[in-house]
Amino acid sequence: MNWLTKLRKLMGIKLSLTLICVGLVVGACTPANPPMQEINGISMIVATTSDVTVGQNRIGFSLFNFEGEAIVAKEVTVEAIFYPPNEQEGIIKDSAPAYWMSIPGGAGKGLYITNLQFDVSGSGTQQNPNYWELVASFTYEEENLWSKAAIVVADESPVVAIGNEVPKSLTLTGDTLAELERISTDINPDPDLYQVSIDEAVINGKPTVIVFATPALCVSQVCGPIVDMVSNIKMKYEKRLDFIHVEVFENPKALLSQGRFSGQQVEAVKEWGLVTEPWVFVVDRNGLLSAKFEIFATEAEIISAIEAVVN
């Protein structure tokens, strides 16, 4: 079992190889003229966010030792460090605390969340030699430690941007158990999440909460919990919003016996620019994106985003 497979199993999170560099392990991520690297030999940081662009970003990450064991520290501070082309000295552009967010499904599963500002794009490539690093500082077992990883910052995201009009995607609806089995892998689907298509919801004058997830086939193992969370939140708002679950794959009933790798993604996934799962989007009453959450969010985060569009 290679190190990435082991981390996936330990984290229960889908990792993006385009996003992370871990010390000296992923040599393909190293830019042509990288700043000098120092590895503390104890820990490494793995970013779980694929959607990082110029501006304010919600960044998810986990910490591991080099045996693949998760590190859960009480206090973690993260710095966004920028290296101009061919420069060995980085510039601290932003710094923020990170908080631990537990993920349903087992003790110790979770990730850290922080919010960082990036003022310029960078990928450490010949096309864009600007280079960004995340550096996490923390205390663990009475030792002061740090970990760092390269991170790609894009000018624009393939995912719908906050403030933009969302795609008017045609998504499947249903009422009966037979209909829901054909449009969702959720073993206990909430019919209320399949009553209206996105194309109808975003023009009817009500805010909308949309969750893209594949509960029974999810790599990250959090699709089911996030769909359940959205369903529970729905009950707090009666008919003031539309709540929609979009299954990631076509023909989910057949996929449950065949496995996810035989499936085709639904068109809405492509229209929204998604390369990971799950995602939660909050759309205002004018059809503009107000908030988005990749992989996982707390109930408080989603409710806060909803309150911003219902009041």
Q: What is the pLDDT of residues 192-228, one digit of tens each?
A: 999 999 999 999 999 999 999 999 888 777 899 999 9
Does domain 3-151 fall under CATH 2.60.120? My reply is no
Mean pLDDT computed over 87-103: 93
The reply to whether omega before 278 is within 30° of 0 (cis) is yes
Start-end of CATH 2.60.40 domains in the chain: 3-151
Share of the chain above pLDDT 70, in %: 84
pLDDT higher than threshold 70 for residue 42: no
Start-end of CATH 3.40.30.10 domains in the chain: 177-310
Angle at 217 between CA 211 and CA 223, to 5 degrees: 30
Q: In b/e form, how buried is each residue of 191-218, taking b as 16+ CB within 10 angstroms?
A: eebbebbbebbbeeebbbbbbbbbbbbb
pLDDT higher than threshold 80 for residue 304: yes
Residues 6+ apart with CB under 8 A from 193: 211, 227, 230, 231, 234, 243, 244, 245
pLDDT higher than threshold 80 for residue 19: no
Q: Give the per-residue pLDDT at 151.
A: 94
Residues 6+ apart with CB under 8 A from 195: 173, 175, 242
Indicate left, alpha or beta for 251 from its phi (over 0: left) and psi (-120 to 50: alpha). left
pTM: 0.81
The domain covering 177-310 belongs, at the CATH homologous superfamily level, to Glutaredoxin (3.40.30.10)
Q: Nearest Cα to 47, choosing from 65, 59, 29?
A: 59
Query: Of 5-9, 64-68, 199-203, 260-264, where does mean pLDDT reach its minimum?
Result: 5-9
pLDDT higher than threshold 90 for residue 20: no
pLDDT higher than threshold 80 for residue 5: no
